[in-house]
Amino acid sequence: MSVEINGRKFRILIESSQISKKVSELGKKITQDYRDKDLVIICVLKGGLIFLADLVRQIEIEAEIDFIWASSYKDSMEAGEIELLTDIRIPIENRDVLLVEDLIDSGATLDFIRQHILSKHPKSLKICALIRKNKTPKANIYIDYLGFEIGDKFIVGYGTDFAEHGRNLPDIYVIDN
Ligand code: IMP
Ligand code: MG
């Protein structure tokens, strides 16, 4: 099935059933790993919103949730400067923080957010990302909980956007060149 968003054609890359299966596996792992910990989940807006909502319902231990909003991609497929738009409100010093991200491309946004979180002195910091592009330099960004690795293609859906369109699509689509 294909859809048209902003005049560009997209086709399904990852179906919602595959996503739910993966999200439930990730939730199980996180539940095991954080059983005796003081878990604070920080969702990276806006792209991480849908993933977060599904993931937290697969985590069977207590967790606090907060949001951080940093943006690099402005209104299109062009990368720009990274800026912090909204900071977290929950204190995280000496607590076990899990960052939840939709998508890691160059890793620049994650690196920026990670440094920012680390400056607040959490006890631990781990990363959970639904998708990583295979061109992401693996040396400097370790992803503790990863859903899918994809090629260097532009995607949309399940929280990720094309110029703010398509976040509500239940499946993940890839641009059809
Ligand atoms: P990075 O800083 O290059 O890793 O880019 C990360 C952010 O850029 C993601 O959280 C997305 O918001 C956005 N982004 C990167 N690639 C895509 C894409 O293929 N589709 C939609 N958004 C993307
Ligand atoms: Mg985005």
Q: Which ligand has the nearest atom to the CA of 103?
A: 1
Compare 37 and 107 and report the one with higher pLDDT: 37
Range list of H helices, the chain = 16-33, 49-56, 108-118
- Cross-sheet strand order for the sheet of 2-5: 2-5, 8-14, 172-175, 155-156
In angstroms, the CA 104 to CA 74 distance is 16
> What percentage of the chain carries pLDDT values higher than 90?
82
CB of 18 closer than 8 Å to CB of 147: no
* Cα-to-centroid distance, 20 and ligand 2 (Å): 21
CB of 64 closer than 8 Å to CB of 34: no
Tens digits of per-residue pLDDT, 142-160?
899 999 999 999 999 999 9
Tens digits of per-residue pLDDT, 61-113?
999 999 999 987 555 555 568 899 999 999 999 999 999 999 999 888 999 99
Tokens representing 105? 């491309």
In angstroms, the CA 49 to CA 78 distance is 21
Q: Does 155 sit in the ligand 1 pocket, CB within 6 Å?
A: yes
